[in-house]
Amino acid sequence: MISLLFGVSIILMIYLTYVLLNPEKF
């Protein structure tokens, strides 16, 4: 369960970084 939450947090951080680096696409 802990590993699942950790994986989700990693994915969210990567997604947020992508959005911040490419704001014109959103």
- 26: Cβ contacts below 8 Å, ≥ 6 apart: 19
- The per-residue pLDDT for range 1-26, each reduced to its tens digit, is 889 999 999 999 999 999 999 878 76
When divided into structural domains, the chain yields a total of 1
pTM above 0.85, yes or no: no
pLDDT value of residue 1:
81
- 19: Cβ contacts below 8 Å, ≥ 6 apart: 26
Residue 22 sits in which domain range?
Answer: 1-26
pLDDT value of residue 26:
65
pLDDT value of residue 18:
94
pLDDT value of residue 23:
78
